[in-house]
Structure 1
Amino acid sequence: MAHSNPTYLLVHGSGHGAWCWRDVLTEMARRGLSARALDLPSHGADATPIAQVSLEAYRDAILADIDAHAGGPVVLVGHSAGGYPISAVAEAAPDKVARLVYVCAYVPCNGVSLADRRRAAPSHPILDVITRTNDGLAFQFIAAKAPDALFHDCPPEVIGFAVARLGPQAIAPQETPLPLTAAYASVPRSYVICDHDRIIPPVFQATMTLDWPATSVHHLPSSHSPFFSMPARLVDCIVATPTKCPAQAAP
């Protein structure tokens, strides 16, 4: 499934939007790489009501974007909760995905929801920095706590830019189990562990990739937001093709 000149499609995580990839897209353009980012349903400029958001809607939005741009295959890059939608795409249409790149992201287990995956971690720092919306359908990052939790190693300009754009995150897609088969397992994958992450414990990121080939796991001395704190180094990791990245064992 090699692709000599791949296109990179960047998928954001909880409460974020395509805006979080601003500096990464600039860096990729500087290198002459083909890359784009999208807003998942109800995020960024997308006006889908929270009540209509599902993991399937996330998956279908990514597939629609791929199909709108010649059908791929693309390298799908998922940040944080974005690990689940990109995995759902690989399960549904492995021929459209050249590689999956998880950036301090949740790696799914067969039949397990993202929320249950998070609950399996040794600690849950995100619970201290979010609050549920009044309708109970979503959660939001607490603005006063977001800078230290998400962006503690980012420039002040970035913190103001990002905190102002954080939005609600629908709970339903994160409580939805994701069945996985050999289709997902056939897609090569790599991971970027962020060693100073205050949202997803770095030790849990390491646990999720424990049995991966060493050449497919990268480390950055970054917060949960390497796209802002060290975009050039993140791009280095995203574009790195593992020297040996065989199809994964079926989950």
Structure 2
Amino acid sequence: MAEAAPAKIAKLVYVAGFLPTNQQSVFELAGQDTQSLLGPALSTSPDGSLAVVNRAQLVNIFCQDGSAAVQQQVLENYRDEPAGPPAEKVTLSAANYGRVPRYYVRTLQDHALSPVLQDLMLRATPVQKEYRLNSGHTPHLTNAEELSGILAEIAQ
């Protein structure tokens, strides 16, 4: 959306998110993440349309730092995702995407998107400000109050 309509986006906030560069796909980025537990646990559905995470690995990948209730919530609500979008290369220009202020919330205990890959992405695509949470991949579930404070600060 920031590339297509930058005037409609005040700020972009990435929370434990992939931060691709122009003509890069999420799969390309993920392939660089040798410390991620997600890649080895990922497969596709028989028809190739869905990315499927090994159910036995869900908690360790996404919310190892969560309470038992949060971990159960993740298990109950997990759904396979379409495989197509992560394979598509993004088109990002300095004139559009580049003019939208970007903020990044790093998750220091992330097993899905390792801190090493987060470092690489932030070197390739600088942001206005970086925040750090001592959290796994789902701080909205495990560190909601701290994440809310960061989001409120960015919104100001």
TM-score by length of 1: 0.58
The 5-angstrom pairing of residues 100-179 of structure 1 reads 100-179=12-91
CA contact (8 A) 2:44 2:83 kept: no
Q: Percent identity?
A: 25
- The gaps in structure 1 that reach 5 residues or longer are 1-88, 244-251
Structure 2: unaligned runs, 5 residues or longer: none
**Map of 1:219 onto structure 2:** 132
- Superimposed CA distance per residue, residues 99-146 of structure 1 (whole angstroms, 9 cap, x where no aligned partner): 000011101110111111222334442122223212111122222211
- CA deviation profile, 1:29-69 (whole Å, cap 9, x unmatched): xxxxxxxxxxxxxxxxxxxxxxxxxxxxxxxxxxxxxxxxx
Whole-Å Cα distance in 1 between the matches of residues 55 and 155 of structure 2?
A: 38
Aligned partner letter, 1:151: C
The DSSP-based 3-state class of the residue aligned with 2:48 is coil
Deviation at 1:221, TM superposition (A): 0.4
Does the residue aligned with 1:164 lie in a helix, a strand or coil?
Answer: helix
Number of the residue aligned with 1:186: 99
> Of residues 206, 218, 221 in structure 1, which corresponds to 2:119?
206
- Letter of the structure 2 residue corresponding to residue 115 of structure 1: F
Shift of 1:229: 0.8
Q: Structure 1: how far apart are the matches of 2:87 and 2:130?
A: 27
CA distance in 1, matches of 2:12, 2:29: 18
Find the aligned partners of 1:122 and 1:239 in 2 and give their Cα distance.
Answer: 33
Between stretches 164-173 and 134-143, larger displacement belongs to: 134-143
Relative to the length of structure 2, the TM-score reads: 0.90
Aligned length: 154
Which structure has the higher relative contact order (CA within 8 Å, separation 6+)?
2
Q: In structure 2, what is the equivalent of residue 98 of structure 1? A: 10
Q: Show the counterpart of 1:27.
A: none
CA separation of 1:122 and 1:145: change in aligned 2, threshold 3 A: closer
Q: CA deviation at 1:168?
A: 1.2
Q: Is the contact made by 2:35 and 2:116 (CA closer than 8 Å) also made in structure 1?
A: no
Partner of 1:236: 149
